[in-house]
């Protein structure tokens, strides 16, 4: 690791102001990606601003049909939160299959979506549920937030404060775990909104990061059942291929995981 | 058996320090004035080193020195050796290219060191390493064994034309061809045994400390065999004569073979310590472990088996290409020859065998012994072939094995080995019963009704352990003897220290070796200490590998114990005014049999050291040593059967059951044996389902981190159902066969046999990743 200066911010304002004062700062929101990358000397931030102790970034609120998860809430706290389990159990399930216990105790929802790893789990949930990303400056629809591999709508120094999810009628997430990293080799989040809209998002599959799957959405719109997806053809074009999965395999996984997610959603 | 004697489940004495964080590993050691080394490693698989410019680095804070490959060659530090000479079929010796500890001219694999920075801290050394400019001229590289032997392939070493190290044969070709000419059926199979990265939990590390006044070196290193390290460093690498070099291997966090070898980093640390006049420490990181720890396996094999009309095997032909990587590591040459082809008879009566092994250089990390070393490759090949044969001949796979089992012992195979004892039917029966083999068709049908593909796979393995005797391995080309030594010291107050050449790096010797003493003397294990891992304390030893510590090392302790007991009995008889022949040892006392006359061990010990009242002519003291050279290898064997379910939608395999019935001879501590089997099975399953060290066509490693290289985790494996059938090994007095490698040797074939049974297609390479299984299911 290169030399860096560590700061522990106690408020969002302080974190943002520390960020502005340093030349090449990075926010630390769990550090499950940033710290290993720094240890390998592949990142060399001048300053690291830890968001983990900021009270206003912690916790979950359920208000009417909106579930709000604050940005620095850990996966473990999300997984075990009663409101999450009640309002959107698919999110509790997603966190339970995310990484391993050590990752779940440290990693946060804000850290995950700000990093936007193409195989991360949470981007699929945000996209499928039509979530809104709240920052210290504005609100951004999930649709507009994720902009390809490791790229988001966040501006320099802009800090995610929370994610709010409209509570769906039904939702499910199923993933094929990457055998080494335990990211999603392919994961699919399916949701049916209370107004009857169907949204399906896949992660780990596409070369351009998390994506909607319109063909499966159309099939489920007319018939919310696993068998509705039987006849859907998913093209392997544009899908990731590596030693753990060919593009054809990932195309198959999009279908199979979608079917299982629908089963899980009920 | 006493409560802590042979056969008792004594809790591991060493675990108190390991699980409370008090283990003392090389990286925990800090010496006064210690400097830190960081190696500059080639990013290219094959390149000329044109120039190394360290001028900027030398000006950086805390930098002590930057040393290069040319300097280590100029200082006449020896090239790395390969310690087992193999002769090709044309009578020529194996063809080896030079392997200097740091490359002066040419790098041949990604990660090979070209220079080292010595600095005041690890981080400063790393900072400075980034400022060293190495000018490389890239050369064409080759990573695949078949590509490497093609004409026109990039050539690694001028000494080895065509990248061929040797072309070695074993067995009777004429008799084998004759068997095939008369065969009723011939079964053919091509298999790849995937390359593995060993990944011991503790990365390799070394601290070298040169004492200029004494011209003496001390090396702390992560070694499975510190005495062998000292021998090689002294005899071949010109570091220092043996009496001027102390090698200490303190607590070592796993080896699996990868810490047998003497690596460039230890040599450089020793040489650099003398050059800079201060201790030098190097601790590898995980990336360096992936790039530089000797890899395992990596065979490509075509095999054919001939059967008569009664499904009896009549002949076996094997041709294997073994990928050695860029250099010949310390014992690499023996792995695909004498540790592989000599086991090709498996558990079966095969009248004629012929095998040819072609060793090949590629621009990849060197390959050497890894848990099982040659025997997993042999066992996998035979057991995949038996399963293939059963499918082709349409007979039950267990029955086909039974038809061909060796049942008379001793049994001389056509490939050197003479099996001393065994009962292969017993272990097969035990495993079949444990998994309810007879009930499998019903379970398969039940799974099918739920859309799952259920399969069962058998693997009957045999291995040769205890690697010995010295005379025999010497005649086959080994550069060392393969005995073990031990010393028993009874202290004046009656506590006992056992000095052994068997290093413990996870095996639990500090417990099991004490159990032998407890068994013989009736003293608690708490009164016994095991001393190992230091060439200044233990006179000599060959180290721990090849499941040899109990069969060879513990037997050496037994021999020393017998000598000590004999003397102690004389002392006791003298004190008790009895005949030596009437003395028996019970519960820590020397008793006159049939009487209540007794003298406790501490009093005997004290008498030995005060020497006030010893028999006439007896030397004082109570300390004996022994060297033990076995008469033969030992032959652990057993049957593993696993039942799996494959998800046709994803190709993912999950375990329904996994049973292991092993014959290890006598067990000293069944709990530790079970732990060894668990670990071995997980490594075998890891190879079958998850692990693969992959290079691209240009020799760039694709799997050099845990983000890409899939190590097995607890939830990837089932709870194992273990049992033992026992035939005592006649080759050593304790009847021990060894248990350290069996799991890794036998498991992978059971897994692949089960998956191929489930999906109804026989051709499936390891690792059977979900993607690969899914594509195999859906292949035309």
CATH number at residue B570: 3.30.365.10
* Residue A86 pLDDT greater than 50, yes or no: yes
pLDDT at B2: 62
* B622 and B762 fall within a common domain: no
Interface test with B, best of A244, A251, A258, A262 (most B CBs within 10 A): A244
Q: In Å, how far is A243's CA from the nearest CA of chain B?
A: 8
Q: What is the pLDDT of residues B714-733, one digit of tens each?
A: 999 999 999 999 999 999 99
- B607 SS3 class: helix
CA-CA distance, A103 to A100, in Å (whole number)? Answer: 5
Residue B476 domain-assigned (yes or no): no
What's the start-to-end Cα distance of chain A, in Å? Answer: 47
Q: What percent of chain B has pLDDT over 90?
A: 95
Do B205 and B279 belong together in one domain? yes
- List pLDDT tens digits, range B483-508: 899 999 999 999 999 999 999 999 99
Find the mean pLDDT for residues B123-140.
Answer: 98
Mean pLDDT, chain B, whole residue set: 96
Does A256 contact B at CB distance below 8 Å? yes
DSSP assignments along B618-675, one per residue: PPS--EEEEEE--SS-B--EEEEEEEEEE-TTT--EEEEEEEEEEE-BS-S-HHHHHH
Note whether B702 contacts A: Cβ–Cβ < 8 A. yes
Contact B650 A253 (CB under 8 A): yes
User: B692: which chain A residues are within 8 Å (Cβ-Cβ)?
Assistant: 243
User: Would you tell me how many other CB atoms lie within 10 Å of the CB of residue B779?
Assistant: 8
Half-sphere exposure of B677 (CA within 13 A, CB side): 26
Q: Is A41 on the interface with B (CB under 8 A)?
A: yes
Quick one: average pLDDT of B679-707? 97
CB contact, 8 Å: B711 with chain A? yes
Do B323 and B450 reside in the same domain of the chain?
yes
Which chain B residues are closer than 8 Å to A248 by Cβ?
A: 775
What are residue A200's phi and psi, to 5 degrees?
-130, 130
Q: In this structure, are B714 and B652 located in the same domain?
A: yes
Label residue B601 by pLDDT band (50, 70, 90). Answer: very high
Chain A residues 232-251 within an 8 A CB cutoff of chain B: 243-246, 248-249
Contact B35, B276 (CB under 8 A): yes
| CATH number of the CATH domain containing B93 | 3.90.1170.50
| Cβ contacts of A230 on chain B, cutoff 8 Å | none
Distance CA B508, CA B252 (A): 12
Confirm whether B129 is domain-assigned.
Answer: yes
User: Under a CB-based contact definition with an 8 Å cutoff, are residues B220 and B252 in contact?
Assistant: no
Say if B707 is an interface residue toward chain A (CB within 8 Å): yes
Query: ipTM, 2 decimals?
Result: 0.95
CA angle B759, B763, B769 (to 5 degrees): 70
Any domain includes B489: yes
Phi, psi of A133 (to 5 degrees): -95, 120
Instruction: Answer for the pair A146, A116: CB distance below 8 angstroms, yes or no.
Output: yes
Q: Are residues B703 and B768 in the same domain?
A: yes
Establish if B194 belongs to a structural domain: no
Taking CA–CA distances from B772, the nearest residue in chain A reads: A245
Residues B428 and B391 in one domain: yes
Count other C-beta atoms under 10 Å from residue A134's C-beta.
Answer: 19
The predicted model gives B265-287 an average pLDDT of 98
The reply to whether B562 and B647 lie within a common domain is no
Q: Are residues B342 and B414 in the same domain?
A: yes
Which domain does B52 fall in, by range? 31-139+201-254+259-292
CB contact under 8 A, B649 and A40: no
**Can you tell me the distance from the alpha carbon of B103 to that of B157, in angstroms, rounded to the nearest whole number?**
13
Same domain, B492 and B599: yes
Please report where in the chains the tokens 């719109």 appear, as a residue.
A221
- Cβ–Cβ of A249/B126 closer than 8 Å? no
Average pLDDT, integer, range B612-631: 95
Cα separation values, B330 from A21, A57, B79, B376, B432, Å: 56, 56, 11, 19, 40
Distance in Å, alpha carbon of A3 to nearest chain B alpha carbon:
9
Chains A, B: CB contacts under 8 A, how many?
A: 52
Answer yes or no: is B604 within a domain.
yes
The answer to whether position B216 is within a domain reads yes
**Around Cβ B515, how many Cβ atoms within 10 Å?**
24
* Whole-number Cα distances in Å, B729 to B422, B488, B667, B732: 8, 24, 11, 6
pLDDT at B180 over 70: yes
Res B4 pLDDT > 50: yes
The model's confidence at residue B473, banded by pLDDT at 50, 70 and 90, is confident
The DSSP line for B322-384 is EEEETS--TTGGGTTTTTTGGGTTTTB--S-EEEEEEEEE-SS--B---TTTTHHHHHHHHHH
Residue A150's contacts (CB-CB under 8 Å, 6 or more residues apart) are: A115, A116, A117, A118, A209
* CA B578 to chain centroid: 49
Put simply, the answer to whether B769 touches A244 (Cβ < 8 Å) is yes
Q: What are φ and ψ of residue B585, in 5° steps?
A: -105, 120
- Which residues are within 8 A (CB) of B59 and not within 5 positions of it... i.e. 6 or more apart? none
For residue A99, which of A90, A89, A109, A84 has the smallest C-alpha distance?
A109
Say which of A1, A181, A256 has its CB closest to residue B649: A256
B541-591 pLDDT, tens digit each? 888 888 888 899 999 999 999 999 999 999 999 999 999 999 999 999 999
Q: Which of B580, B613, B628 is the last residue of a domain?
A: B628
Handedness of CA B577, B583, B588, B594 (dihedral sign): negative
B150, part of any domain:
no
Q: Cα separations (Å) of B616 from B570, B573, B600, B608, B620?
A: 11, 13, 21, 12, 11
- Write out pLDDT tens, residues B327-360: 999 999 999 999 999 999 999 999 999 999 999 9
pLDDT digits (tens, 9 = 90+) for B372-412: 999 999 999 999 999 999 999 999 999 999 999 999 999 99
In this prediction, residues B169-189 reach a mean pLDDT of 98
Assess B201–A contact: CB distance below 8 Å, yes or no.
Answer: no
CA B635 – CA B612 distance, rounded (Å): 49
> Does A179 touch chain B if contact means CB atoms closer than 8 Å?
yes
Other beta carbons within 10 Å of B402 = 17
CA B540 and chain centroid, separation:
20
Q: Which residue has the tokens 């089960």?
A: B754
Q: How far is CA B480 from each of CA B157, B439, B484, rounded to the nearest angstrom? A: 26, 51, 12
Give the Cα separation of B97 and B235 in Å (integer). Answer: 19
Would strands B589-592 and B583-586 be described as parallel, antiparallel, or unpaired?
Answer: antiparallel
Among residues B581, B603, B628, which one ends one of the domains?
B628
Among B285, B771, B772, B779, the residue to mutate for chain A (most A Cβ within 10 A)? B771
Report pLDDT for A199: 98
> Which of B712, B710, B647, B685 lies closest to A174 in space, CA to CA?
B647
Q: Are residues B105 and B129 in the same domain?
A: yes
**Which CA distances in Å does B399 have to A229, B306, B310, B387?**
45, 17, 12, 11
- Using pLDDT thresholds of 50, 70 and 90, give the confidence band for residue B466: confident
Write down all domains in chain A, each with its CATH number in brackets: 5-50 (3.30.43.10), 55-166 (3.30.465.10), 170-265 (3.30.390.50)
Chain centre distance of CA A176: 16
Q: Are the Cβ atoms of B650 and A256 closer than 8 angstroms?
A: yes
DSSP E strands, B8-58:
35-41, 47-53
Q: What percent of chain B has pLDDT over 70?
A: 100
Instruction: Measure the CA–CA gap between B497 and B490, rounded to whole angstroms.
Output: 6
Question: Is residue A156 helix, strand or coil?
Answer: coil
CA proximity to B492, closest of B601, B599, B609, B600: B609
Q: How far is A137 from chain B (nearest CA, A)?
A: 35
Are residues B458 and B569 located together in one domain of the fold?
Answer: no
On whether residue B96 sits in a domain, the answer given is: yes
Compute the radius of gyration of chain B from its Cα atoms. 27
Which pLDDT score, from 0 to 100, does residue B780 have?
76
* Cα dist from B317 to B89, B161, B248, B284, B353, whole Å: 16, 26, 45, 42, 6
* Cβ of residue B696 closer than 8 Å to a chain A Cβ: no
Selected for mutation to probe chain B from A243, A246, A253, A263 (highest B CB count within 10 Å) is: A243
Measure the CA–CA gap between B474 and B394, rounded to whole angstroms. Answer: 44
Claim to verify: residue B375 and residue B508 sit in the same structural domain: no
Q: Between chains, do B770 and A176 touch, taking CB under 8 Å as contact? A: yes
Predicted pLDDT at A118? 96
Number of domains, chain B: 3
Picking from B703, B706, B774, the nearest residue to A252 by CB comes out as B774
Touching check for B770 and chain A: CB below 8 Å?
A: yes
**Distance, C-alpha A124 to centroid of its chain:** 6
Question: Averaged over B152-171, what is the pLDDT?
Answer: 98
Residue B1 has pLDDT above 60, yes or no: no
Q: Which of B267, B292, B317 is the last residue of a domain?
A: B292
How high does pLDDT run on average in chain A?
Answer: 97
| pLDDT value of position B472 | 83
Laid out side by side, the sheet with B484-490 consists of: B528-531, B496-500, B484-490, B623-628
> Which neighbouring-strand residues pair with B137?
B48
**Contact between A188 and A124 (Cβ < 8 Å):** yes
* CA triple B708-B711-B712, angle to 5 deg: 140
Give the rounded percent of residues in chain A with a pLDDT score beyond 70: 100
Does A252 touch chain B if contact means CB atoms closer than 8 Å? yes
Task: Tell me which chain B residues have a C-beta less than 8 angstroms from the C-beta of A176.
Answer: 650, 652, 770
């Amino acid at each position: 690791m290169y030399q860096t200066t560590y700061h522990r911010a106690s408020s969002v304002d302080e974190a943002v102001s520390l960020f502005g004062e340093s030349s090449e700062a990075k926010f630390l929101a769990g550090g499950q990606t940033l710290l290993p990358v720094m240890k390998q000397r592949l990142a060399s931030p001048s300053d690291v601003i830890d968001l983990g102790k900021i009270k206003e970034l912690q916790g979950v609120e359920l208000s009417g049909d909106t579930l709000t998860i604050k940005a620095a809430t850990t996966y473990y706290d999300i997984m075990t939160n009663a409101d999450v389990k009640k309002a959107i159990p698919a999110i509790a399930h997603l966190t339970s299959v995310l990484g391993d216990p050590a990752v779940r105790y440290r990693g946060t929802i804000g850290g995950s979506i700000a990093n936007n790893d193409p195989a991360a789990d949470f981007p699929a949930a945000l996209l499928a549920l039509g979530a809104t990303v709240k920052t210290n400056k504005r609100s951004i629809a999930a649709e507009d937030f994720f902009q390809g591999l490791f790229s988001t709508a966040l501006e320099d120094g802009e800090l995610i404060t929370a994610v709010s999810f409209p509570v769906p009628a039904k939702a499910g997430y199923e993933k094929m775990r990457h055998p080494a990293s335990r990211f999603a080799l392919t994961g699919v989040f399916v949701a049916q909104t209370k107004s009857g809209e169907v949204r399906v998002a896949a992660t780990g599959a596409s070369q351009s990061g998390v994506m909607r799957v319109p063909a499966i959405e159309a099939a489920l719109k007319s018939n919310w059942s696993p068998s509705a997806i039987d006849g859907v053809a998913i093209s392997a074009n544009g899908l990731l291929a590596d030693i753990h999965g060919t593009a054809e395999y990932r195309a198959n996984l999009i279908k199979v995981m979608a079917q299982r997610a629908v089963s899980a959603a009920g | 058996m006493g409560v802590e004697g042979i056969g008792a489940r004594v809790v591991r004495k060493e675990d108190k320090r390991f699980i409370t964080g008090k283990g003392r590993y090389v990286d925990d050691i800090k010496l006064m004035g210690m400097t830190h080394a960081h190696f500059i490693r080639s990013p290219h698989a094959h390149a000329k080193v044109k120039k190394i410019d360290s001028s900027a680095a030398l000006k950086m804070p805390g930098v002590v020195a930057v040393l290069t490959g040319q300097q280590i060659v100029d200082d006449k530090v020896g090239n790395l050796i390969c310690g087992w000479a193999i002769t090709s079929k044309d009578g020529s010796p194996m063809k080896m290219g030079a392997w200097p500890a740091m490359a002066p001219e040419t790098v041949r694999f990604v990660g090979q060191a070209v220079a080292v920075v010595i600095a005041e801290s690890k981080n400063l050394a790393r900072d400075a390493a980034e400022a060293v400019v190495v000018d490389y001229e890239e050369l064409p590289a080759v990573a695949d064994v078949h590509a490497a032997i093609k004409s026109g392939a990039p050539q690694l070493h001028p000494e080895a034309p065509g990248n061929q190290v040797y072309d070695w044969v074993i067995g009777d070709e004429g008799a084998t061809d004759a068997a095939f000419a008369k065969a009723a059926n011939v079964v053919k199979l091509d298999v790849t045994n995937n390359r593995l990265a060993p990944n011991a939990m503790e990365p390799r590390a070394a601290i070298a400390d040169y004492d200029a006044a004494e011209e003496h070196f001390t090396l702390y290193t992560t070694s499975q065999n510190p005495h062998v390290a000292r021998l090689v460093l002294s005899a071949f690498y010109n570091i220092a004569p043996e009496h001027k070099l102390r090698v200490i291997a303190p607590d070592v966090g796993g080896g699996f073979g990868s810490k047998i070898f003497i690596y460039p980093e230890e040599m450089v640390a020793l040489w650099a310590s003398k050059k800079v006049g201060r201790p030098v420490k190097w601790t590898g990181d995980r990336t360096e472990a992936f790039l530089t720890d000797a890899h395992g396996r990596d065979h490509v094999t075509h095999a054919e088996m001939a059967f008569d009309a009664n499904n009896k095997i009549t002949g076996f032909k094997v041709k294997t290409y073994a990928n050695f990587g860029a250099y010949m590591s310390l014992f690499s040459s023996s792995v695909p020859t004498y540790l592989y082809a000599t086991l090709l008879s498996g558990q079966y009566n095969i009248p004629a065998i012929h095998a040819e092994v072609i060793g090949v250089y590629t621009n990849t990390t060197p390959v050497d012994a890894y848990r099982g070393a040659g025997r997993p490759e042999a066992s996998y090949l035979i057991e995949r072939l038996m399963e293939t044969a059963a499918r082709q001949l349409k007979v039950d796979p267990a029955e086909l094995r039974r038809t061909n089992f060796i049942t008379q012992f001793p049994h001389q195979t056509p490939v050197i080995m003479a099996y001393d004892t065994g009962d292969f039917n017993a272990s097969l029966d035990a495993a079949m019963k444990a998994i309810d083999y007879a009930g499998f068709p019903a379970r398969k049908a039940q799974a099918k009704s739920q859309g799952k593909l259920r399969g069962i796979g058998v693997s009957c393995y045999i291995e040769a352990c205890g690697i010995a005797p010295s005379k025999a391995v010497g005649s086959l080309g080994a550069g060392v003897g393969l005995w073990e030594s031990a010393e028993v010291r009874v202290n004046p107050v009656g506590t006992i220290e056992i000095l052994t050449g068997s290093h413990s790096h996870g095996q639990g010797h500090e417990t099991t070796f004490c159990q032998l003493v407890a068994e013989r003397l009736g003293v608690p294990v708490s009164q016994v200490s095991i001393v190992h891992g230091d060439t200044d304390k233990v006179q000599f030893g060959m180290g721990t590998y090849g499941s040899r510590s109990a069969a060879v090392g513990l037997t050496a302790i037994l021999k020393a114990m017998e000598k000590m007991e004999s003397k102690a009995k004389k002392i006791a008889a003298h004190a008790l005014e009895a005949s030596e022949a009437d003395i028996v040892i019970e519960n820590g006392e020397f008793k006159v049999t049939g009487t209540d006359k007794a003298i406790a061990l501490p009093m005997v010990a004290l008498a030995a050291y005060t020497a006030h009242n010893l028999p006439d002519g007896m030397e004082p003291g109570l300390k004996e040593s022994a060297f033990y050279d076995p008469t033969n290898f030992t032959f652990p064997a057993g049957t593993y059967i696993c039942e799996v379910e494959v998800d046709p939608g994803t190709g993912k395999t999950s375990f329904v059951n996994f049973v292991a019935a092993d014959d290890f001879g006598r067990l000293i501590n069944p709990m530790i044996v079970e732990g060894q089997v668990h670990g071995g099975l997980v490594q075998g399953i890891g190879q079958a389902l998850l692990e693969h060290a992959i290079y691209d066509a240009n020799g760039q490693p694709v799997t050099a981190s845990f983000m890409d290289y899939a190590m097995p985790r607890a939830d990837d494996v089932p709870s194992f159902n273990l049992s033992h059938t026992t035939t005592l090994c006649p080759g050593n007095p304790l009847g021990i066969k060894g248990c350290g490698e069996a799991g890794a040797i036998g498991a992978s074939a059971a897994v692949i046999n089960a998956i191929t049974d489930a999906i109804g297609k026989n051709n499936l390479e390891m690792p059977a990743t979900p993607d690969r299984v899914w594509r195999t299911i859906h292949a035309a």
